[in-house]
Structure 1
């Protein structure tokens, strides 16, 4: 029996593990970096130990510090979560040497699957189907290119030590191979300190289906069915569901048995996931095995009624599996979406900033939110920008999808850009509703789920006017002298001596400016914006408003330079621009850093003439590389940064002049 558990992780997975440990009566220890001193997982745990500065290499990835924290607090077990040290054989070995239970597989299993190339050879011997490819250690660029030609384009470059889409590039043409290889190696080295690459044939229009396996140390093993994780961006999962659409019992059994063969081949113990590519003809191919709990494990918990973290703790303590294969069954359908701080309409650029509001939908037996943040927390450049996971269950796929749609409408986030609107478009796309998914789903329907023009509508304008009126009223009353608090001059309504109080504000919404004019009378606000007009009355009881006589949900919150309103399932975040007093803007030109990060490489020389969309520099942020491209044909006059330099978001990086 495990008595005290240290969670060697942060964010939502740390919070999720703590919940189960608390239910089982297991004491918990959190670890944290300086950036996470006030984080939710630190608040939830029974104890907490500081590891070090914000960078993960100085805190969450420092094995010696994590082991010392466990010894200091008397923890008899460590749960690694996912990411960070979860698939690090050295960390598992260090736990064993310190006499601490590692809640995960043995060292040998981690090492066997730690290299994708070695894993392929093991799987081939175990009779698990493989995609044709090259899994050798010769990393000469010309040799690798020769293997790509033999396999046939398109090919996929993959970091042998990696996961999560890092160090991965699709190459469609021979002439693009070397540049893609350099980028993939660079990203792999940065993420995993290992740039060994493997090459596989790129299976066109596949589905990504993974099998959840569980093994104990007594030789027992089960599979807890499948999850479809096909909808991805940058090779990272966006929507997961279980069971997979269109899955037959026969195919499910074949994939499950293949996954168990893979697990038994490496002496696996604990929770693991075997990932397959599934083509349209029902053929499936081994991709990799993740020797840890997966981000998307909640959908499996929803359809099986099992707590997989509880299973992990039991197996780690030496107990047999709680259930056998014949005891497991599927009940209903479940979806999970990952809510990120990112801009889907700008190549999914990660976002940083303060979560002014984080208000998830009401949780229930069929609606679950796994998160590690709360209102007021900072989304920093140091870690993955995932805010939360939203999981919904229904008796059927259609019912589960309807619950997910409703929950997304109720989710309120302000202060950072996020992907909720994008997720809403994805799950309501007619192809997704029909279950017609593949790993190319987003690319295939890019015009419908991405780059959506966000126009101001009458409903949005009404909400903005209601917010602006409420803000003005609040500010006027706050400024009123205590002796004159009830003077009509300090009200935000329409009262004035001899004239109507019509106010005007210029706002910026998604880069477009608009003038909102409004006047108030007894709580009702009449507004105009261009050729649109209407009336809104924010009701004092609860978060409701009347918009042109229709009652809708309404709430608002101040942001750093404007506000955010939530009305009838729609969110509008905007800036309130200062009055135009006739001053001309600075005529300086240049390209700015889109976020905090580190400059990886400068790709052109100062003075170079470049074409539109030509790559100019590469920067790394939030564990991913981002390329800054020329906005038009022009000249790079000079760089204001150097490779290896840490830059702040918004800082000027390049003096760029567009051609006339």
Structure 2
């Protein structure tokens, strides 16, 4: 078993990993930037190691600094969380070269799934459907692919994630401007300006499947729906995906496991699909080779601690779960509480939290690193915490969500809480099965 774990991340996911590792008897060392040395995760970890100055480009994203800190702390494994270096094959290679275990999939998997076009090709090999589109190396290629695919379409960063480097294009006159914007954003976010073209589905739903694998066996933990998004970034997630025929749900779950087995997947991962809301046909989008922000909704309905499974698999254990042992119960919903102002196009709002009163009670879980007087630094993602509710039915979960949001108080800076209250009260959300265009039609 892993004995001493270095956590190369921050915020709520770092605290989440600390808690499970400590419960398993694993010592924890948090790799923190100068801005996070006094954070709640730093207080909860067994030790803290400085990885660099506050800006991510000088600390959390510097492979040499992070690996050196883990070595100096005498750790035998590194958990990357999500974001930052979590899907960086060079980081995983450096961790392993230093004699430590990387809590994540094999390097070859990270390389294959980190490139969205390579991932598409692997999915096709595994027999999964993909959207019409493909590689576009030059501007002329983009125009040719666009003409073949038709409008509307999406431009997507080859090395993308989190909605960065993505642009919707409704007609040919918008293509060049959208391409310039997508390439510039992709270069800034990933150091790679390459994009590809993909058909846009007007009434698309974003449905994903949580998978676990040990390199030999693979299972799924059910579906999640993540269709409520702003700028292609998720705001609300629920499990299982609502308002779907069981045949469609089973087909997507089977496809995810089929891909996991095809690539001999090891660890926790998420296969993401676009579902046409009109006929429930589905298309592979990507495989996120890490833990997801929205993993708690799956934990709520299955009772499986996904971080624990990651640590067991990274320790060389075979998968201790079979598909028959996974029996989801009820329904769970998660909303992301971000330090952003929805009235100002979700502008980030870093600053000091004067007061934070998080909901509690039966069927309510909060994953957060924010406390009274805490800081939301301007250097990182704006996620403050996640409110997760679980009920015996979706109706009960929706009702519980509304009540929990009514009691949530954060003072000192704008957050997305008022927006989530409107979402929870919207008849379309209450009915279930909304598509990715939902937010555009939400009443003020």
TM-score of the two chains, using structure 2 as the length reference:
0.98
Q: Are 2:410 and 1:408 aligned?
A: no
2:67·2:94 contact (CA, 8 Å) conserved in 1?
Answer: yes
How many matched pairs?
Answer: 443
Paired residue for 1:258? 255
- Secondary structure of 2:161's counterpart equals coil
1:203-282 alignment runs, 5 A limit:
203-217=201-215, 219-279=216-276, 280-282=278-280
1:374-393 alignment runs, 5 A limit:
374-393=371-390
| Alpha-carbon distance in structure 2 between the residues aligned to 1:6 and 1:182 | 39
| Alpha-carbon distance in structure 1 between the residues aligned to 2:377 and 2:326 | 41
Paired residue for 2:290? 292
| Alpha-carbon distance in structure 1 between the residues aligned to 2:344 and 2:174 | 23
| Alpha-carbon distance in structure 1 between the residues aligned to 2:66 and 2:2 | 18
1:108·1:266 contact (CA, 8 Å) conserved in 2?
Answer: no
Paired residue for 1:609? none
1:116·1:135 contact (CA, 8 Å) conserved in 2?
Answer: no
Paired residue for 1:196? 194
1:585-600 alignment runs, 5 A limit:
none
- Secondary structure of 1:370's counterpart equals strand
| Alpha-carbon distance in structure 1 between the residues aligned to 2:108 and 2:342 | 40
Higher helix share: 2
| Alpha-carbon distance in structure 2 between the residues aligned to 1:316 and 1:67 | 17
Q: Are 2:68 and 1:51 aligned?
A: no
| Alpha-carbon distance in structure 2 between the residues aligned to 1:433 and 1:228 | 14
Paired residue for 1:326? 324
1:112·1:266 contact (CA, 8 Å) conserved in 2?
Answer: no
1:207·1:437 contact (CA, 8 Å) conserved in 2?
Answer: yes
Shift of 1:183: 0.8
1:228-627 alignment runs, 5 A limit:
228-279=225-276, 280-362=278-360, 364-443=361-440, 445-446=441-442, 448=443, 452=444
Shift of 1:365: 4.9
1:154-201 deviation per Cα after TM superposition (whole angstroms, max 9, x unaligned)? 110111101010111101111111111111111111111111101100
Paired residue for 2:32? 32
Shift of 1:267: 2.3
Paired residue for 1:169? 167
| Alpha-carbon distance in structure 1 between the residues aligned to 2:379 and 2:226 | 26
1:120·1:135 contact (CA, 8 Å) conserved in 2?
Answer: no
Higher strand share: 1
| Alpha-carbon distance in structure 1 between the residues aligned to 2:362 and 2:317 | 28
Paired residue for 1:123? 123
User: 5+ residue gaps in structure 2?
Assistant: none
| Alpha-carbon distance in structure 1 between the residues aligned to 2:248 and 2:213 | 21
Shift of 1:266: 2.2
Shift of 1:371: 0.8
1:232·1:239 contact (CA, 8 Å) conserved in 2?
Answer: yes
1:118·1:135 contact (CA, 8 Å) conserved in 2?
Answer: no
Q: Report which structure shows greater RCO (CA 8 Å, sep ≥6).
A: 2
1:343·1:417 contact (CA, 8 Å) conserved in 2?
Answer: yes
Paired residue for 1:89? 89
1:354-403 deviation per Cα after TM superposition (whole angstroms, max 9, x unaligned)? 111112112x4511100122121222221001110000000000111111
- Secondary structure of 2:160's counterpart equals coil
- Secondary structure of 1:288's counterpart equals strand
| Alpha-carbon distance in structure 1 between the residues aligned to 2:245 and 2:304 | 22
1:423-462 deviation per Cα after TM superposition (whole angstroms, max 9, x unaligned)? 010111001100140011011x24x0xxx3xxxxxxxxxx
| Alpha-carbon distance in structure 1 between the residues aligned to 2:15 and 2:308 | 14
| Alpha-carbon distance in structure 1 between the residues aligned to 2:325 and 2:364 | 25
- Secondary structure of 1:314's counterpart equals helix
- Secondary structure of 2:196's counterpart equals strand
- Secondary structure of 1:149's counterpart equals helix
Shift of 1:308: 0.5
For residue 185 of structure 2, the aligned residue among 154, 178, 187 is: 187
| Alpha-carbon distance in structure 1 between the residues aligned to 2:433 and 2:249 | 18
1:613-652 alignment runs, 5 A limit:
none
2:37·2:48 contact (CA, 8 Å) conserved in 1?
Answer: no
2:164·2:186 contact (CA, 8 Å) conserved in 1?
Answer: yes
Shift of 1:253: 2.0
| Alpha-carbon distance in structure 2 between the residues aligned to 1:110 and 1:307 | 23
- Secondary structure of 1:135's counterpart equals strand
| Alpha-carbon distance in structure 2 between the residues aligned to 1:25 and 1:365 | 27
2:243·2:433 contact (CA, 8 Å) conserved in 1?
Answer: no
| Alpha-carbon distance in structure 2 between the residues aligned to 1:374 and 1:196 | 40
Q: CA RMSD in A?
A: 1.0
1:227·1:300 contact (CA, 8 Å) conserved in 2?
Answer: yes
| Alpha-carbon distance in structure 1 between the residues aligned to 2:351 and 2:315 | 41
